[in-house]
Amino acid sequence: MRAVLQRVSEASVTVDGTRIAAIGPGALILVCAMRGDDGVAADALAGRIARLRMFRDDAGRMNRSLADTGGAALVVSQFTLAADTARGNRPGFSAAAAPDLARALCDRVAAALAALGIPTAKGRFGADMRVALVNDGPVTIWLES
């Protein structure tokens, strides 16, 4: 699985003009399930996200995690993270998991984060989403399981 984490002051998802999810301080997490991924990969990714030290401590160093800070997670499915741009000008997405599996794995990442005590919201799989965020730092980190 792949994920891009953005440390945020706030983030939200809007679908068809209706805000369906919003968080305050925490992380916007764009998640992509890849071919061959399974529940073990989803759980491992959630664990890494919860423990990743990307938030400032009292000294201003990135020494605190979502679990440490009580920050929230907004999980948004993002199959375009599987883009293959090695040839030509049009990305290919054949490395992404099939939609039914991808939906289940993205939901599992969100559920695993919530089970770890992280307040969690999520986008709507397969929807045309408008994602708004205020990137804090900015801090953007790529994770792969």
Dist. CA 33–CA 97, nearest whole Å: 5
Which is the catalytic residue, given 69, 78, 93, 125? 78
Spot the catalytic one: 80, 85, 93, 125.
80
**Active-site residue flag, 80:** yes
Indicate which residue of 6, 55, 79, 120 is catalytic.
79
As a whole number of Å, the end-to-end CA separation of the chain is 5
6 annotated active-site: no
- For residue 18, indicate whether it is catalytic: no
> Buried (b) or exposed (e) across 3-12, using 16+ Cβ within 10 A?
bbbbbbebbb
Q: Are 34 and 42 in contact (CB under 8 A)?
A: no
Token duo for residue 20: 């369906």
By annotation, the residues acting in catalysis are 78-80
